[in-house]
């Protein structure tokens, strides 16, 4: 098949997406596919060389770098000759304009099949507040939350109301970003520290989600089709599972399968599949949880295009289920309605 792997993009997760995309390019080529790496942020001149891929690292993107990109470049890219003769797109654009339904809608309009969730499900999953409302309706436990806007960072009445409404530690994050971009964890929040956390998150989104911090273990579950893969426990050696601990080798330990009782394991896996389906996700996703000390799980969010390097969490879970990385790529294509030859 002629496959376009979409990578890079214009979110703060741009460089992580480059590394994810490179892994998929290599895997799909190893299966005999004709693969075209495409970075939609570059407009009509979006086809990357192998040397471009080789240079990719998961370093953080600077504000200056992001400011150089235009959202309109995505339209120029998808409508360009770069997609001529392409049978399908394997989307590995993390974050805004890639994981939120924008690129999916453009591919729909051009008539190009793509991997993963549809435009509507992608948008729903990227909106953390909307996701939590749907979880709540479906009976999937999630931490209490409120949303505020960036301009309310200096509104002491609003901040005091949040502190009164949600007791204990707080997690403050942009409503529509990933990879813990702009996130702050406050174990003992005060008026000043919460205001500052809202200000930080407000640099990345027009809506900020504030939820109760659930102490306990961090679990993640890859969902493939209608099945949950083995659960992974994420254990940073110091601090929280932030951007640095995610992408710095050796900073975090991963236990797959997680050491859980059969009852807790079954419950968490069932909740993961339920969260995947309540948002209308397709093919695959990764569902994140906090497991409280009393073994009550709380669903944090669903990632429709999670990290996808050969050492990322979804491939790790797949290997624990005896599925190697190239086979995982092809299975995602099959579950997306793309039948590889």
What confidence tens digit (pLDDT) does each residue in 53-72 have?
Answer: 999 988 888 888 888 999 99
| 259 and 195 part of one domain | no
Domain count, the chain: 3
Better pLDDT: 202 or 341: 202
pLDDT band at 341 (very low <50, low <70, confident <90, very high): very low
| 182 and 237 part of one domain | no
| 169 and 130 part of one domain | no
Output the pTM of the full model: 0.92
| Best CA proximity match to 226, nearest among 266, 281, 300, 267 | 281
- 3-state DSSP of 241-305: CCHHHHHCCCCEEEECCCCCCHHHHHHHHHHHHHHHHHCCCCCEEEEEEEECCCCCEEEEEEECC
Which residues span the domain enclosing 173?
145-212
How far apart, in whole angstroms, are the C-alpha atoms of residue 170 and residue 211? 6
| 80 and 15 part of one domain | yes
CATH number for the domain spanning 18: value is 3.40.50.20
Does any domain span residue 334? Answer: no
Does any domain span residue 104? Answer: yes
Say whether pLDDT at 242 is over 60: no
What confidence tens digit (pLDDT) does each residue in 29-53 have?
Answer: 999 999 999 999 999 999 999 999 9
| 180 and 227 part of one domain | no
| 135 and 179 part of one domain | no
Does any domain span residue 291? Answer: yes
How far apart, in whole angstroms, are the C-alpha atoms of residue 96 and residue 76? 17
CATH number for the domain spanning 199: value is 3.30.1490.20
What confidence tens digit (pLDDT) does each residue in 282-317 have?
Answer: 999 999 999 999 999 999 999 999 999 877 999 999
Residues forming the active site:
13, 179, 247, 286, 288, 301, 303, 307
What confidence tens digit (pLDDT) does each residue in 88-129 have?
Answer: 999 999 988 999 999 999 999 999 999 999 999 999 999 999
């Amino acid at each position: 098949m002629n496959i376009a792997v979409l990578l890079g993009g214009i979110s703060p997760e741009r460089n992580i997406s480059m590394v994810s995309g490179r892994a998929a390019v290599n895997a799909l080529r190893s299966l005999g596919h004709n693969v075209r790496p495409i970075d939609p942020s570059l407009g009509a001149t979006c086809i990357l060389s192998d040397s471009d891929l080789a240079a990719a690292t998961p370093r953080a993107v600077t504000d200056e770098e992001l400011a150089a990109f235009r959202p309109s470049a995505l339209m120029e890219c998808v409508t360009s000759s770069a997609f001529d003769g392409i049978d399908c797109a394997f989307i590995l654009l993390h974050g805004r304009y890639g994981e939120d339904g924008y690129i999916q809608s453009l591919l729909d309009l051009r008539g190009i099949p793509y991997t993963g969730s549809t435009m509507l499900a992608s948008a729903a999953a990227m909106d953390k507040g909307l996701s939590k409302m749907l979880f709540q309706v479906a009976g999937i436990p999630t931490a209490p939350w409120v949303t505020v806007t960036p301009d309310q960072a200096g509104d002491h009445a609003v901040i005091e109301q949040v502190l009164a409404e949600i007791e204990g530690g707080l997690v403050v994050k942009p409503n529509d970003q990933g990879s813990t971009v702009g996130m702050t964890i406050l174990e003992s929040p005060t008026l000043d520290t919460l205001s500052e956390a809202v200000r930080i998150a407000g640099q990345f989104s027009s809506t900020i989600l504030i939820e109760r911090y659930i102490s306990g273990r961090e679990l993640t579950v890859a969902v493939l089709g209608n099945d949950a893969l083995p659960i992974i426990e994420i254990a940073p050696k110091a601090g929280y599972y932030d951007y640095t601990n995610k992408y710095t080798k050796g900073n975090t330990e991963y236990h797959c399968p997680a050491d859980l009782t059969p009852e807790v394991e079954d419950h968490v896996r069932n909740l993961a599949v339920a969260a995947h389906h309540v948002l209308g996700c397709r093919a695959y996703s990764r569902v994140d949880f906090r497991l409280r000390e009393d073994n009550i799980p709380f669903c944090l969010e669903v990632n429709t295009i999670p990290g996808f390097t050969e050492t990322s969490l979804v491939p790790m879970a797949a290997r624990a289920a005896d599925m190697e990385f190239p086979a995982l790529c092809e299975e995602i294509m099959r579950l997306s309605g793309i039948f590889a030859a």
